[in-house]
Amino acid sequence: MEKTLNRIHPVSDPEATYFLQVSWEKDLGAGFSLLLSDCQCAWTGKVSEADISREAADIEMDREKYVEELRKALIAAEESAGKYNFVIS
Q: What is the CATH number of the domain that holds 72?
A: 2.170.210.10
For the chain, the domain total comes to: 1
Task: Quote the domain boundaries for residue 10.
Answer: 2-80
pLDDT tens, residue by residue, 20-56: 999 999 899 999 999 999 999 999 999 999 999 999 9
pLDDT more than 90, % of the chain = 66
**Domain-located, residue 52:** yes
Q: How confident is the model at residue 12 (pLDDT cuts 50, 70, 90)?
A: confident
Query: Strand, coil or helix: what is 81?
Result: coil
User: Hey, CA dihedral for 61, 63, 64, 66, is it positive or negative?
Assistant: positive
**Domain-located, residue 88:** no
pTM: 0.84
**Domain-located, residue 50:** yes
Give, in order, the Cα–Cα distances in Å from 21 to each of 35, 50, 54, 58.
5, 21, 23, 25
**Domain-located, residue 86:** no
**Domain-located, residue 30:** yes
Integer Cα distance of 59 and 10 in angstroms:
23
